[in-house]
Amino acid sequence: MDSGNGHQEPFRTRSFSRESSLASSLSLSRSLPLFISTNDVDDSESVSEAGDIGDRSLRRRHSIGRSNRLFSSEDLLEQGVTDDTSRQEHDLSVVKPLPEHMTTSPLPTKSLLSPETNKPVKKEGPVLPKSLEYISCLIHLAVFGILGAITRYLLQKLFGPSVARVTSDGSILYLDLPSNMVGSFLMGWFGVVFKADITRVSEFLAIGLSTGYLGSLTTFSGWNQKMLDLSADGKWLYAVLGFLLGLFLASYSIILGVETAKGFRWLLQRRASSSSKERNSCLLEVNTFKSHIVSMTLMVLLLVALLAVSATQLVKEFDKGTSEAQLWLGCLVAAPGVWLRWFLARLNGRGLGKDGQYLRWVPFGTVIANVAAASAMAALATLKKSVDTTTCNTVASGIQFGLLGCLSTVSTLMAEFNAMRESDYPWRAYAYASFTIAVSFAIGTVIYSVPVWAVGFN
């Protein structure tokens, strides 16, 4: 679909430009600047970074702020380029400039350039110190992570047996299926198509929405545990169908999100192109030190309010052992899960080996987060069956819902899956998803299903 900016299309084919990812936690680029060759290594790195790159985005920004070069030395090292070979692999050479009298044109060339070219280019650099940027990221991740967990709980209740009766624990339509579909759909909007636009307003808002809210709204560990419950009851066919159906619906949810968001963007650009208003500036941009401090203060107040409400409600509901008690306990422990997943995301695109030359297309950070959360959730499920008390069930279920539910993610997995599926090697998408599911289910079977079969828990 035509986006209305024909001269920018070569740089935005099926993704954002690589330059916009330097200031965001999601590196969604699949195209590189023209002076860098797009080889297999670059494509492998971009698809593995399509979901999240964690705090590496902050390091990249500060590297840019310390240098006038487009790519810092750290970025070149991340692409597997050493100082001795960077010129040869990237075709970059230092050429002595010609004298000014030989380069000055007698024609008024400035009038020949487009309005965008005539405008001075604003160099992007860090506004806040690095420590404050980390603190701001952690605060945004905590707030949006708690909100994502609350939304997941509400969707469970809305589509669960008590209201709509669409999902249940004993069927392939597991309780977290609606939240995984909604989160994947919204990832297509705010984590893919409109990611760069949100980053221009506030990069911390972009990180909070994609990594914090959408990553916590969806959960891989809960999905895996429901399939383990089915297999432990002898419903192996249901477990297999549950994985296949869950993967199918989540993958097509993000595709639908991307396509609808592209259509909406096209409508916005068509409407804007018909008017004479200038659209290059945004009044809502948080790009000064003062605006960052104000935004951070508001987020701190919101975080304190959420934690205070969660703690107050937990005290009231804890002895009852209700699902509300599990929710409020989950809200209190949700932030560490989001933070750990964000820090693990720095491993995405790194690959294996001394220079990361092996399996660079595998997002190891997301794999570790999902497998670890699924394994820990299986262990807590075994603990609940062995102890079988109200207090143990409340505490374990709260940790499962909050900490482990926010540590694992389906929206990021689907963003990476979709990027791999659209790459030159679409088989990688299915290999990546199959590996994550198979390893998590196998470990969960050993930790949870085997003790259930051996001891004979109900």
Q: CB under 8 Å to 161, separation ≥6 — which residues?
A: 167, 168
DSSP secondary structure letters along 160-196: STTTT----TTSSS-TTHHHHHHHHHHHHIIIIISHH
User: Does residue 106 sit within a domain?
Assistant: no
pLDDT band at 212 (very low <50, low <70, confident <90, very high): very high
- Cα separation, 311 vs 146, in Å, equals 13
pLDDT (0 to 100) of residue 455: 86
Residue by residue, DSSP assigns 97-148 as PPPHHHH--SS-GGGGS-HHHHSPPPPP--SS-HHHHHHHHHHHHHHHHHHH
Q: What confidence tier does 66 reach under pLDDT thresholds 50, 70, 90?
A: low
Is residue 367 over pLDDT 90? yes
Burial 420-442 (b: 16+ CB within 10 A, else e): bbbbeeeebbeebbeebbeebbe
| Residue 31: its H or E element | strand 29-31
Overall average pLDDT of the 344-371 stretch: 92
The confidence band for 140, taking pLDDT boundaries of 50, 70 and 90, is: very high
Q: Kindly state the tokens that stand for 244.
A: 């296949």
Q: Give the number of domains in the chain.
A: 1
At residue 92's C-alpha, the angle toward residues 89 and 95, to 5°, is 150
C-beta separation of 441 from 228 below 8 A: yes
Structural domain range at position 144: 130-271+289-455
Using the predicted structure, report yes or no on whether residue 32 has a pLDDT greater than 70: no
Q: Using an 8 Å Cβ cutoff, are 380 and 449 in contact?
A: no
- What is the average per-residue pLDDT within 38-55? 68
Q: Which of 88-102, 204-218, 317-331, 395-409 is the least confident region?
A: 88-102
For residue 34, being part of any structural domain is answered with no
Q: Is 371 part of any domain?
A: yes
- Per-residue model confidence (pLDDT) at position 38: 45
322: region left, alpha or beta (phi > 0 left; psi from -120 to 50 alpha)? beta
Q: Are 60 and 18 in contact (CB under 8 A)?
A: no
Q: How far apart are the first and last CA of the chain?
A: 54
The mean-pLDDT minimum among 60-64, 70-74, 142-146, 233-237 falls in 70-74
**Residue 210 in this model has a pLDDT that exceeds 60:** yes
264: in domain: yes
Give pLDDT, residue 39.
53
**Cα 310 from chain centroid?**
25
pLDDT digits (tens, 9 = 90+) for 267-301: 998 888 766 444 444 557 887 889 889 999 999 99
275 is written with which tokens?
């008017």
How much is the pLDDT for 63? 61
The C-alpha atoms of residue 223 and residue 207 are separated, in whole angstroms, by 24
- Give pLDDT, residue 37: 42
14 in a structural domain? no
Contact 205, 193 (CB under 8 A): no
Amino acid at 387: V
| Residue 358 DSSP symbol | B
Average pLDDT, the chain: 81
Q: What is the pLDDT of residue 160?
A: 94
> How much is the average pLDDT of 357-384?
95
Q: DSSP label at 70?
A: S
> Is the pLDDT confidence value at 10 over 80?
no
**Which ranges of 388-449 would DSSP assign to H, the alpha helix?**
390-399, 405-407, 411-421, 427-444
CA-to-CA dists, residue 328 to 227, 318, 351, angstroms: 25, 9, 38
Q: Is residue 82 part of a domain?
A: no
Judged by average pLDDT, the poorest of 52-61, 159-168, 316-325, 419-428 is: 52-61
Kindly state the DSSP code that residue 16 receives in the 8-state scheme.
Answer: E
How is residue 4 written in tokens? 């209305």
Residues 6 or more apart whose CB falls under 8 angstroms from that of 154 comprise none
Does a structural domain hold residue 62? no
SS3 content of the chain, % helix, strand, coil (to 5): 70, 0, 30
pLDDT digits (tens, 9 = 90+) for 419-457: 999 999 999 999 999 999 999 999 999 999 999 999 877
Query: Is residue 337 situated within a structural domain?
Result: yes
Whole-model pTM: value is: 0.79
